[in-house]
Every structure is written in C-alpha cells, then in structure tokens.
Amino acid sequence: MGISKAAVTKMLTPLIADQLLAKEMDTADNRSFTLSLTAKGQEELIALTPTYQAPMETVRDGLGKKRFKQLIKLLAKANLLLNQAHPNGAGPIEVDCDDDEDDDEDDV
C-alpha cells in the first residue's frame, strides 16, 4: 500500500486516544492487533458523512452520472498503477494535461 508502519501508527494514535477506534491486541501474537470502530467513532462517521458527500455530489451533478462514474474508474485505475509502480509510495508527479494526444473531451 506504500504507507510505513510509523505513518499508520501516527494516524491511528489520535483516533484511539479520542476513543474513535478500539485497539485489541492479539493474544497469540503480541505484534498484531485488531482495530474496530467504537460507538463514538460510528457517531462521528455518521456526522461527517454529509461533509464528505457534499463536494462529491457537486462534482457528480456537474459532470453527470456517466462522466462521474468514468472519473471514479479512472482515479481507481490511476491509484492501482501508482501503487504497482511505486509500492513504497509515489513521489511528486508532474502532469501536463495540455499535451495529451489521446484527449477526447467527449470521452472524459
């Protein structure tokens, strides 16, 4: 996935401290643990859903459902390609959208 253990720990620690996630150690292997969403975490997730969905709906409404679906598929494909090419994380990427010979506005 390209994310270090240290980065994951740094992201999870405040969520556990705020009791949004519960961490349960594996009794068979002390190096492993299971994370679960707490009731408080579930409440926060539900409360944040409109904040996340509003911009997505704006994009979907502006592009139309068909183009929005294409966008999501293209982003998923791009993410897969980046993860395959740079399994330890992709660095900065420069994109020149003006010089795309395959660009067809009707397809995008």
Could you state, in order of their start, the residue ranges of all structural domains in the chain? 1-37, 49-86
pTM confidence score: 0.57
Comparing 97 with 69, the larger pLDDT belongs to: 69
pLDDT at res. 48: 94
Q: What is the C-alpha separation between 25 and 31, in angstroms, rounded?
A: 8
Q: How confident is the model at residue 102 (pLDDT cuts 50, 70, 90)?
A: low
Q: What is the C-alpha separation between 60 and 53, in angstroms, rounded?
A: 10
Tokens read off for 33: 């643990």
pLDDT at res. 83: 80
Cα–Cα distances in angstroms (integers) from residue 56 to residues 2, 64, 91, 92, in the given order: 25, 12, 26, 24
Question: What are the pLDDT digits (tens) for 14-52?
Answer: 999 999 999 999 888 888 899 999 999 999 999 999 999
pLDDT at res. 93: 56
